Amino acid sequence: MATENKMSLTVKVLLGMGLGIGVGLGINLFELNTAGSFVNVCIVDGLFHVVGKMFVNALKMLVVPLVIFSLICGVCGIGDIRALGRVGGKSFALYMLTTAIAIATAIIIAASSGIGKGMDIPNEANFVGKESPPLSQVLIDIIPSNPINAMANGDMLPVIFFSILLGISMLLVGSKAKSFVEGAEIANEIMMKMVNVVMSVAPYAVFALIAKALASLGLGLLASLAGYVLVLVSALLFHLFVTLMVLLKVASGLSPAMFLKKIRNVQVFAFSTASSNATIPVTMRTVTKRFGADNSIASFTVPFGATINMDGTAIMQGVATVFIANIYNVDLGIAGYLTVILMSVLASIGTAGVPGVGLIMLSMVFAQVGLPIEGIGLILGVDRLMDMIRTAVNVSGDAVVSSIVANSENKLDESVYKDPNAGAVESGNIHIDEAAEAELSHALEEVKARD
């Protein structure tokens, strides 16, 4: 067997990411990506764009069916409706707490660094804010008037609600619903296999996504916003490596080193897609197969977290608020900053984990505290790169809370968590087991004979 096949998928994905960074930056630095050039038309906006988008579509394609089937299995697996309420309560509290800590830390770090002080207001400050839904609407929309519509739109909260209710109703029906539950279990297993199939092409897709993003990046802007970028990235790293890891250790006793080792794949997927939602299949696979959390917990906490938990995004909002307030010489005061914390936490509940949504949340926060919304235009140029980094922090937060909740419910298999190889996808090649194939065709023949 070739050595290539023995390389773990994580190594291949990291290689794809490294190559993507190199090629993307190379194209950018040598200014090969000028509008209309061969590199621009055929490579960056051609090959990289098509391969990257196809992959993101493939990930999104998995989300809704995976969440539905795994939640049905999860609810039926938990069996007890009270346990379900407990898991919901714990994860909601932890998601809100981590988001609040994230933004408070960001404000403290940014305020003590004094970023933006003495900077002139540049002309390019022009950003037109978009409306974020009010909380009352968010609450109403949790219940889908048409579940098929919610599924078609990929609206996570109503899909989660419908699937949980479906699972509970199956439990209430009892033995008559047995074949439906078995069907959902089989469908869940098939969807998990489909995640493996899609993940097997990840190294190439990650390369294309990252190369395209970096080739189109304004590197000059990075230099002019160096203060903002530096403070933001430091706050994000602090949250990931200190706050979340201390929380994981204190609340569950699980090893942060093992967590950081196994979460890398999820972080790279989040980084390259800039979408917590599109990363749900990979987060779910990692939390269950690599960390050993039971599906009954992860099926709920992972999609729930991808929607309502955005620690990295909250950090961006904290740093951006301080930065822009300083540029415009606005003193928000303690009350202003407390409002920022509250607004960011609330805004994270109603907005889905998709690229760029953080800016919409930010305009909502600015409107509330009276900061000029057009000021957001100042950070627009570097936001794509910052979005990639903060999404990696967002999904890490989802995985930390899922592990803590699973552990607190005695639904985390520590032997799996401690095993560095547990659940690792060994090779990029999808190998169809001959025995499994023979078994399936035999079963099909039996069905035909019966008919």
> Does 387 participate in binding ligand ASP (rule CB under 6 A)?
yes
AA identity, residue 425? V
Torsion sign (Cα): 306, 309, 312, 314? positive
Name which position in 205, 213, 346, 357 contacts ligand ASP (CB under 6 A).
357
By CB under 6 A, what part of segment 235-264 binds ligand ASP? none
- Comparing CB distances to ligand ASP, the nearer of 333 and 356 is 356
> Does 390 participate in binding ligand ASP (rule CB under 6 A)?
yes
Q: Which residues contact 53 (CB under 8 A, 6 or more apart)?
A: none
> Does 391 participate in binding ligand ASP (rule CB under 6 A)?
yes
Minimal distance in Å, beta carbon 310 to ligand ASP? Answer: 5
The residue number whose beta carbon is nearest to ligand ASP equals 358
Name which position in 356, 420, 437, 438 contacts ligand ASP (CB under 6 A).
356
Distance CA 401, CA 47 (A): 37
> Does 358 participate in binding ligand ASP (rule CB under 6 A)?
yes
Minimal distance in Å, beta carbon 215 to ligand ASP? Answer: 20
- Comparing CB distances to ligand ASP, the nearer of 274 and 382 is 274
Count of residues touching ligand ASP (by CB under 6 A)? 15
- Comparing CB distances to ligand ASP, the nearer of 294 and 387 is 387
Q: Give the x/- contact pattern for ligand ASP in 297-326, rule: CB under 6 A.
A: -------------x--x-------------
By CB under 6 A, what part of segment 107-126 binds ligand ASP? none
The answer to whether residues 57 and 275 touch, using CB atoms and an 8 Å cutoff, is no
Distance CA 40, CA 37 (A): 5
Distance CA 257, CA 377 (A): 38
How many residues appear in the chain?
Answer: 451
- Comparing CB distances to ligand ASP, the nearer of 350 and 428 is 350
- Comparing CB distances to ligand ASP, the nearer of 122 and 356 is 356
Minimal distance in Å, beta carbon 40 to ligand ASP? Answer: 25
> Does 66 participate in binding ligand ASP (rule CB under 6 A)?
no
Binding site for ligand ASP (CB under 6 A): 274-276, 310, 313, 353-358, 387, 390-391, 394
